[in-house]
Amino acid sequence: MADQSPAQREMAELLVDALNLEDISAAEIDPQAALFGDDLGLDSIDALEIALAISQKYQVQMQAEDENTRNAFATLASLTEFVEANRA
């Protein structure tokens, strides 16, 4: 597992809190692992909850129809990069 940057750790903590993940800690989320599918196993409802939490914490709006948003949800690293690039 790759080490998390401070920003990735903060994002991982947001994911754990927003989704009430009990089986995994923020430190255990690999920045390069897929958020959806086999790795972390999130689903579309989780994506909505994550987008809401990001909007509330960082004032970054995520649009479902936007290709950049879909790409951002690939990994913890890509989600962190997207938020950092679009922060108010």
CA-angle at 22, arms to 21 and 27, nearest 5°: 75
What are the tens digits of pLDDT across the range 48-63? 999 999 999 999 999 8
Give the CATH number of the domain where residue 46 resides. Answer: 1.10.1200.10
Q: Report the number of distinct structural domains present in the chain.
A: 1
- Specify the pLDDT at position 1: 67
| Cα-only R_g, the chain | 12
**3, two tokens:** 């080490």
pTM score, whole prediction = 0.92
Range of the domain at 57: 6-86
